[in-house]
Amino acid sequence: MSKIVVIGSCSVDFTTYAPRLPNPGETLIGTKFTTSYGGKGANQCVAAAKLGGNSFMICRLGLDQWGEKYKKNFDQLGVDTTYVALTPDVTTGIAQISVADNGENQIVIVPGANSYLSKDDVKNAEQLITNADILIGQLETPLETTLEAFKLNKGIKLLNAAPARRGIEEILPYCTILCVNEPEAALLTNTEVSLKNAVAVLKKLLETGCESVIITLGPDGAVYMSKHDQEPIHIICDKVTPVDTTGAGDAFVGAFATYLVTHKDKPMHQIIGAACHVASLSVTKEGTQTSYPSKFDAFKRVYKYEKL
């Protein structure tokens, strides 16, 4: 069975819900508070596992009450935790999230143990990383650690360059697939992103050395282009009424990775369309990992796309 390996972050999400997001310096009365499990790496790994992917997580948690609970959460969801390390004298990463009635959110992250994910962790999991069918990384843990893992892997290397940051040029030539949203693509190319100029932005990103690029566009679907197939496409997704958009990008990445290795016979627009569909479903429910569908067959339908 194909191995989906995620090296990245875990955090506990403390989420407040309110009619709207607060302005700077403003205090609002919220409607609800929840505690759940998040972090971009963990979300992507869980999204893959819930869809039936053979998922492995390489990460660091704090040796505290949240670290122990998080590891149990992974186990319950079918994620392999062989390389999930509990780190003494440091807290598990946390995220403070505010969600408005229209689904918009604001997030503040305190990395905690995520900052301790190191090349030693890569060395400990060297065999797994080297032979993974797809290796997924993000930017919530030290870049040098993810780079070391990407150098080892012999399969597909998927980088979700989030949260947005500059100074990642060294890792991009090792990427089989670069996945970014509009703000992340804009930061990497110094260009505002829209459907009208998507081709120019895709070409700029391909010039960084990665083999192919996906830019997710929220309700407008996604655009894709590869060095091996210079014809860019726009994948169209259904419109939904969002309840909570937190973790939607992670749902996309986890679903895309899973379908890429489990549905190799499908064309790329179908794989991306199916991942968009999973992400769309996730925003219709509250929470991150709890909003991801389980064992969902997204290939019962044909997804629309257009050439750019």
State residue 48's pLDDT score. Answer: 97
> Which structural domains are found in the chain, ordered by start?
3-7+40-59+114-307 (3.40.1190.20)
Distance CA 202, CA 235 (A): 14
Confidence of residue 136 (pLDDT cuts 50, 70, 90): very high
Annotated binding site for ATP: 181, 216-221, 249-250
- Per-residue pLDDT tens over the stretch 173-190: 999 999 999 999 999 999
**Dihedral-angle region of residue 295 (phi above 0 means left; psi in -120 to 50 means alpha; beta otherwise):** left
The pLDDT of 266-285, averaged and rounded, is 96
State residue 112's pLDDT score. Answer: 97
Q: Are strands 233-235 and 305-307 parallel, antiparallel or unpaired?
A: antiparallel
Distance CA 153, CA 245 (A): 32
Neighbour-count burial of 308, counting CB atoms closer than 10 A to its CB (0-12 exposed, 13-18 middle, 19+ buried):
middle
Catalytically annotated residue among 64, 80, 121, 250: 250
Residue 84: enclosing H or E segment and its boundaries?
strand 80-87
Q: For the chain, how many residues are written?
A: 308
- Per-residue pLDDT tens over the stretch 101-112: 988 888 888 999
Distance CA 33, CA 42 (A): 21
Confidence of residue 228 (pLDDT cuts 50, 70, 90): confident
Average pLDDT, the chain: 95
Residue carrying the six token digits 């197939």? 229
State residue 131's pLDDT score. Answer: 98
Residue 144: how many CA atoms within 13 Å on its side-chain side?
A: 5
The pLDDT of 29-41, averaged and rounded, is 94
- pLDDT reading at 221 higher than 80: yes
Annotated binding site: 11-13, 39-43, 140, 181, 216-221, 244, 246, 249-250, 282, 285, 287, 291
- Please give the span between the terminal C-alpha atoms of the chain, in angstroms, as a whole number: 35
Distance CA 135, CA 286 (A): 28
Confidence of residue 130 (pLDDT cuts 50, 70, 90): very high
Annotated binding site for K(+): 244, 246, 282, 285, 287, 291
Distance CA 158, CA 163 (A): 15
* Among 137-141, 187-191, 286-290, the least confident range: 286-290
The yes-or-no answer on residue 250 being catalytic is yes
Distance CA 291, CA 287 (A): 6
- Per-residue pLDDT tens over the stretch 265-275: 999 999 999 99
Annotated binding site for substrate: 11-13, 39-43, 140, 250
Contacts of 64 (CB under 8 A, 6+ apart): 91, 92
- pLDDT reading at 89 higher than 90: yes
Residue 253, helix vs strand vs coil: helix
Residue type, 149: A
Find residue 68's DSSP bridge partners.
none
Of all residues in the chain, the percent with pLDDT exceeding 90 is 87
